[in-house]
Structure 1
Amino acid sequence: MGGGPGHLQPRRHAAPAHQRRGDPAGGGARRDHPRRHGRGVSLRRRGAKVAVAPDAPPFALAPRLEAELQARVRLGLVRAEPVSIGPAGPALQGAIGEACGSLARQHAGRPPSEIPGLAAARDLYRAFGIDPTRTRPSSEALLRRVLQGKPFPAILNAVDVCNLCALLFLLPIGLYDAHRVRGAVCLRRGRPGETYQGIRKDVVHLEGRPVLADEEGPFGNPTSDSLRTCVTATTRSLWMVIFAPASSPRAPLEGYVRHARDTCARHLGPPGTNVATSGEVL
Structure 2
Amino acid sequence: MHVSLDPQLIEQVPELKIGLIQYTKISVGDSPQMLKGRLQLFQEQLFFEIEEHGLDHFPSLVNFRTLFKQTGANPSRYLPSAEALYRRVAKLNYLPPVHSGIDSNTFFSLYYGIPFGLYERAALSGDVHFGVGNETTSYEALNGRETTLSGIITSHDAIGPFGSPYVDSQRTSVSTTTTDALHVVYLNPEMPLEEAKQLLQAVSSMFIQIHGGESSTVLLSKSNPEGTI
Match of 2:224 in 1: none
* Per-residue Cα deviation, 1:195-248 (whole angstroms, up to 9, x for no partner): 111121320102232111111111111111111111122111111111136443
Larger radius of gyration: 1
Structure 1 vs Structure 2: percent identity of aligned residues?
Answer: 25
TM-score by length of 1: 0.71
Distance (Å, rounded) in 1 between the aligned partners of 2:204 and 2:31? 17
Comparing both chains, which one has the higher relative contact order based on Cα–Cα distances under 8 Å and sequence gaps of 6 or more? 2
Contact 1:128-1:208 at 8 Å conserved across structures: yes
The RMSD of aligned alpha carbons is: 1.9
Structure 1 alignment gaps of length 5 or more? 1-59, 270-274
Q: Per the alignment, do residues 252 and 277 of structure 1 end up closer, same or farther by CA in structure 2, a change over 3 Å counting?
A: same
Q: Aligned with 1:80: secondary structure?
A: strand
- Runs of 4+ aligned residues of structure 1 deviating over 6 Å after TM superposition are none
1:278 pairs, out of 205, 216, 227, with 216
Q: Aligned with 1:123: secondary structure?
A: helix
Q: Select the structure that is richer in helix.
A: 2
Output aligned runs, 1:1-282, within 5 Å.
Answer: 60=1, 63-71=3-11, 72=13, 73-244=16-187, 246-269=189-212, 275-282=213-220
* Per-residue Cα deviation, 1:93-152 (whole angstroms, up to 9, x for no partner): 122133223323444422212333322222221211222222211111112222332222
TM-score by length of 2: 0.86
* Per-residue Cα deviation, 1:24-57 (whole angstroms, up to 9, x for no partner): xxxxxxxxxxxxxxxxxxxxxxxxxxxxxxxxxx
Contact 1:161-1:264 at 8 Å conserved across structures: yes
Residue correspondences, number: 217
Contact 2:152-2:166 at 8 Å conserved across structures: no
Distance (Å, rounded) in 2 between the aligned partners of 1:136 and 1:204? 13
Deviates further, 95-104 or 259-268: 95-104
